[in-house]
A and B are shown apart, each in its own frame.
Chain A
């Protein structure tokens, strides 16, 4: 937890009002988000019980398994979820535009689907459901409908995208809210969507304190899932499931199932509403300037993965190979660093946080030599010197590269740091983004008296040797793994 977050939480607790942590929202919000509120049955990993799903707040689709203890019914559940999700995915993929005018332009979807779940456990549900379905056969003795396997492939893709810091594909509402607002309660309490939303959108006529204690009552605010409230399980769910198992004829079964559906809807409806309210609240926060660019990249990823699936691509492997895992780690790190830097460049409150930890400083230009040149390898290079007076406690050293968020991350190197009576004087040599000539482009060098900010936070992009393919795995990492071709028997369950 950063200093600013701690302060914001203390202020929120003191004033009983949520405090904004960032000026902007650093998350793209789709014009047509799809919300999924899943519920699972206690006792077994990811046994789906029901889900409320759809892009329309007023008319959610309700999917309830006919008999949650029956494993075949889980495939049936996945099939019904597939009908809801694969259609918007396909629709989005059909509408494309060129990335640019030239001959090298690629196609990019106009808009990509965005899934919302109430909390991180919802993401875990998506991931596990994807794992359960993507590796099934679509022919042979244990065949499942193709849409079930396709759903598995897509859910896995969404869940894997959600591991990236800058993701916009699958979002947990509690995390999206916590990225913008601090409440006066603990992180654990913020993990409960109802408790978190009690701070941000208390029910009509109720103050925050009353709303928060109301959120603790599982009868009024059922858990956001996928796990259900144990009291609900004992008093309502268990008897209903028993009746379902003992129903003698289809009519009786249908009657019980209608009862079950009604009670599960009651459990999911409040979370459904809260998730949509969360989306609306976030939508009202102004979007950060670098969000559209990131969303464009996310659309590219969606486009290329859709092409992969459409071309009959195989489902994602159970485990990452050596090369794949290293590549994935590099991508996770690179995107996290880029997101962190973009947030800092966009948002004054984020950069303030970096100033507090000494990774950025703000001050006034007290001396500038905009025409300074130094001899380079072939010709003289423009290297203006800028001296900044700051009161910030930095621990950046001489030789450190720093970047100017106001000038699109213009790079400078710290030449010297001198302590003065009221702070420090930091001398910087500017390195780029001044045009190609020997005089700097107008506006590219700070002027005397200008207020400037510099930070060491930056996007890192490292060019590397290619990652090895499966067959190129070197001896240090176990060598090429033995080839495995899936066979029908893999689908048999091991009961030993």
Chain B
């Protein structure tokens, strides 16, 4: 029997061969959440560079670039690695390794075997140089118009990304280009695949992050056509809550439920509210703090003996920035214990990993379900950041709200269609959460 490690290793080797020996101009790798995407990017980049060829690496945000620079520079001691940045960029101390050079012009990095920069920065590059190899990380978050600008710089490209996460965004109504195979509002990978139907994406087979309890739901709800398995089996990950509350509340109950099953849904009474609904915000903050107060411990393949859950391993996710601000204030009001808990929007949590996540359901308390709230990527990001358990907080009535708001977006001829649609994905997640529900009293 092959272990998950073996399967992942075989797939990585296949991807490397397809990219370096296949003579393909483009290779696409689809990755489910936590399947070792950036590890793959780091590894492919390192191996090509070590073999003697220059490599360009494209990421989407400065944080991702810094992360990749460190990863690659550590694997390539002695070979110079370039960090392409805007003028005046102050790299964090972790990036300043002896073999890292920082410059705002790519021609100032002539000796660098590997050059890493954001897509936006690459799109400004003015140079006569081209790179034989390029690796694009988070390619599903890059818009196709960006790809259009950077393609001429590279001969062969490896595009790695997670198709289930949030699509790139524009405030512009792009109906004008709907259905065009080069629609600039679509993701880089979507356009590349539409124009090059012979390219079949590779899929990473193992999610190292998601526990067995989450893999099945995330797969059926957000990746119905992919096959991926958890890297751990049921018993390997466990959550233990040693302290029993004296006066047990719904918050305690939902924590116990999530500790046992990996999922918990704290359901507040139905009410139509503002986005920053005080009760939901308070409940969300309570769950996060209570996890720490009760001395939660997690056991996993990294810590087989178990370890205490710290604030830094908890994330609180929400859809809107004002909700994030409200939850941050609520946590601050609960004292020092909450220091270090990351509270952020789905957009910014993309790519991050935590032990336990607490999320404010995007549709909680709303009177309507807009395309913004129905985007499957948003819910997918929120429900796939955790290694142990995910606790959702929301008001009663979300299924009814969904039923009342089927998608009404126009469908265009030859338009890019993405499965599953957000409505369906939301229903799947809700159906699952219904079995892990704790109702808060009035």
Using a CB–CB cutoff of 8 Å, the interface residues on chain A facing chain B are 163, 319-323, 325-326, 328-330, 332-333, 336, 357-358, 393, 395, 419, 462-465, 467-468, 472-479
Q: What residues of B have a CB within 8 angstroms of the CB of A330 in the complex? A: 145
Measured in the bound complex, the distance between the Cα atoms of B182 and A472 in whole Å is: 14
Q: What residues of B have a CB within 8 angstroms of the CB of A326 in the complex? A: 144-145, 148-149, 182, 184
- Using a CB-CB cutoff of 8 Å, which residues 106-138 of chain B contact chain A? 120, 123-126
Q: Taking A320-B177, A465-B126 as contacts, is the C-beta distance between A474 and B145 under 8 angstroms?
A: no
Q: What residues of A have a CB within 8 angstroms of the CB of B195 in the complex? A: 475-479
Q: Taking A325-B182, A395-B322, A462-B120 as contacts, is the C-beta distance between A474 and B151 under 8 angstroms?
A: yes
Taking each of B177, B181, B191, which has the highest tally of chain A beta carbons within 10 Å of its own beta carbon? B177
Q: What residues of A have a CB within 8 angstroms of the CB of B321 in the complex? A: 358, 395
Closest to A465 in B: B149
Can you pick out 6 interface pairs between chain A and chain B where the beta carbons lie within 8 Å of each other? A325-B180, A333-B170, A463-B124, A465-B150, A477-B181, A477-B182
B184/A336 in contact, CB under 8 A: no
Interface on chain A toward B: helix, strand, loop, or mixed SS? loop
A322/B120 in contact, CB under 8 A: no
Measured in the bound complex, the distance between the Cα atoms of B124 and A464 in whole Å is: 4
Closest to A321 in B: B182
Q: What residues of B have a CB within 8 angstroms of the CB of A419 in the complex? A: 332
Q: Kindly provide the distance from the CB of B30 to the nearest chain A CB, expressed in whole angstroms.
A: 17
Q: Taking A326-B145, A478-B195 as contacts, is the C-beta distance between A468 and B172 under 8 angstroms?
A: no
- Of B25, B147, B176, which is within 8 A of A163 by CB? B176
Measured in the bound complex, the distance between the Cα atoms of B154 and A465 in whole Å is: 14
- Of B123, B152, B184, which is within 8 A of A468 by CB? B152
B325 at the interface (CB under 8 A from A): yes
Closest to A399 in B: B90
B252 at the interface (CB under 8 A from A): no
Q: What residues of B have a CB within 8 angstroms of the CB of A393 in the complex? A: 325
A465/B196 in contact, CB under 8 A: no
Q: Taking A329-B174, A333-B172 as contacts, is the C-beta distance between A395 and B325 under 8 angstroms?
A: yes
- Using a CB-CB cutoff of 8 Å, which residues 162-215 of chain B contact chain A? 170-172, 174, 176-177, 180-185, 188, 191-192, 195-196
B33 at the interface (CB under 8 A from A): no
- Of B25, B126, B332, which is within 8 A of A475 by CB? B25
B183/A325 in contact, CB under 8 A: yes
Measured in the bound complex, the distance between the Cα atoms of B433 and A191 in whole Å is: 41
- Of A325, A467, A474, A479, which is within 8 A of B177 by CB? A325
A475/B325 in contact, CB under 8 A: no
A464/B172 in contact, CB under 8 A: no
- Of A328, A333, A472, which is within 8 A of B171 by CB? A333
B125/A465 in contact, CB under 8 A: yes
Q: Kindly provide the distance from the CB of B271 to the nearest chain A CB, expressed in whole angstroms.
A: 19
Measured in the bound complex, the distance between the Cα atoms of B225 and A227 in whole Å is: 45
Closest to B329 in A: A393
Q: Taking A326-B184, A358-B325 as contacts, is the C-beta distance between A468 and B148 under 8 angstroms?
A: yes
A320/B176 in contact, CB under 8 A: yes
B324 at the interface (CB under 8 A from A): yes
Taking each of A163, A328, A395, A476, which has the highest tally of chain B beta carbons within 10 Å of its own beta carbon? A476
Q: What residues of A have a CB within 8 angstroms of the CB of B182 in the complex? A: 321-322, 325-326, 473, 477-478
Measured in the bound complex, the distance between the Cα atoms of B185 and A320 in whole Å is: 13
A325/B172 in contact, CB under 8 A: no
Measured in the bound complex, the distance between the Cα atoms of B150 and A443 in whole Å is: 44
- Of A321, A336, A395, A476, which is within 8 A of B324 by CB? A395
- List 3 A-B pairs, minimum CB-CB distance, nearest first: A326-B145, A322-B182, A474-B151
- Of B149, B170, B188, which is within 8 A of A329 by CB? B170
How many B residues have CB within 8 A of the partner chain? 37
B42 at the interface (CB under 8 A from A): no
Q: Taking A322-B148, A326-B145 as contacts, is the C-beta distance between A476 and B176 under 8 angstroms?
A: no
Q: Taking A320-B177, A325-B182, A465-B126 as contacts, is the C-beta distance between A474 and B191 under 8 angstroms?
A: no
Measured in the bound complex, the distance between the Cα atoms of B148 and A328 in whole Å is: 13
Q: Kindly provide the distance from the CB of B267 to the nearest chain A CB, expressed in whole angstroms.
A: 28
Q: What residues of A have a CB within 8 angstroms of the CB of B324 in the complex? A: 395
Q: Kindly provide the distance from the CB of B331 to the nearest chain A CB, expressed in whole angstroms.
A: 13
B161 at the interface (CB under 8 A from A): no
A476/B26 in contact, CB under 8 A: yes
Q: What residues of A have a CB within 8 angstroms of the CB of B150 in the complex? A: 465
Q: Kindly provide the distance from the CB of A469 to the nearest chain B CB, expressed in whole angstroms.
A: 12
Measured in the bound complex, the distance between the Cα atoms of B151 and A320 in whole Å is: 19
B170/A477 in contact, CB under 8 A: no
Measured in the bound complex, the distance between the Cα atoms of B321 and A467 in whole Å is: 34
B148/A319 in contact, CB under 8 A: no
Q: What residues of B have a CB within 8 angstroms of the CB of A325 in the complex? A: 145, 176-177, 180, 182-184
Q: Kindly provide the distance from the CB of A129 to the nearest chain B CB, expressed in whole angstroms.
A: 17
Q: Taking A326-B184, A465-B126 as contacts, is the C-beta distance between A475 and B196 under 8 angstroms?
A: yes
A320/B171 in contact, CB under 8 A: no
Closest to B172 in A: A332
Measured in the bound complex, the distance between the Cα atoms of B181 and A319 in whole Å is: 11
Q: What residues of B have a CB within 8 angstroms of the CB of A328 in the complex? A: 176, 184
Q: What residues of B have a CB within 8 angstroms of the CB of A395 in the complex? A: 321-322, 324-325
- Of B125, B126, B151, B185, which is within 8 A of A476 by CB? B151
Q: Kindly provide the distance from the CB of A479 to the nearest chain B CB, expressed in whole angstroms.
A: 8
A323/B148 in contact, CB under 8 A: yes
Measured in the bound complex, the distance between the Cα atoms of B181 and A473 in whole Å is: 12
Measured in the bound complex, the distance between the Cα atoms of B148 and A202 in whole Å is: 53
Closest to B182 in A: A322
Measured in the bound complex, the distance between the Cα atoms of B146 and A467 in whole Å is: 10
Measured in the bound complex, the distance between the Cα atoms of B332 and A328 in whole Å is: 45
| A-contact 0/1 string along B250-288, CB 8 Å cutoff | 000000000000000000000000000000000000000
Measured in the bound complex, the distance between the Cα atoms of B150 and A202 in whole Å is: 57
Measured in the bound complex, the distance between the Cα atoms of B188 and A478 in whole Å is: 13
Q: What residues of A have a CB within 8 angstroms of the CB of B171 in the complex? A: 333, 336
- Using a CB-CB cutoff of 8 Å, which residues 292-343 of chain B contact chain A? 321-322, 324-325, 332
- Of A332, A357, A476, which is within 8 A of B148 by CB? A476
B152/A474 in contact, CB under 8 A: yes
Measured in the bound complex, the distance between the Cα atoms of B125 and A328 in whole Å is: 20
Taking each of B144, B145, B188, which has the highest tally of chain A beta carbons within 10 Å of its own beta carbon? B145
Known contacts A325-B184, A476-B195, A477-B148, then 14 further A-B pairs from the complex at CB < 8 Å, ordered by chain A residue = A325-B145, A326-B145, A326-B182, A328-B176, A358-B325, A395-B321, A395-B325, A464-B124, A475-B26, A475-B195, A476-B147, A476-B191, A477-B191, A478-B195
Q: What residues of A have a CB within 8 angstroms of the CB of B188 in the complex? A: 476
- Of B26, B123, B191, which is within 8 A of A464 by CB? B123
A474/B322 in contact, CB under 8 A: no
Measured in the bound complex, the distance between the Cα atoms of B185 and A332 in whole Å is: 12
Q: What residues of A have a CB within 8 angstroms of the CB of B180 in the complex? A: 319-320, 325
Measured in the bound complex, the distance between the Cα atoms of B126 and A366 in whole Å is: 45
Measured in the bound complex, the distance between the Cα atoms of B181 and A357 in whole Å is: 37
Measured in the bound complex, the distance between the Cα atoms of B174 and A474 in whole Å is: 21
- Using a CB-CB cutoff of 8 Å, which residues 209-254 of chain B contact chain A? none
Q: Kindly provide the distance from the CB of A4 to the nearest chain B CB, expressed in whole angstroms.
A: 15
Closest to B90 in A: A399
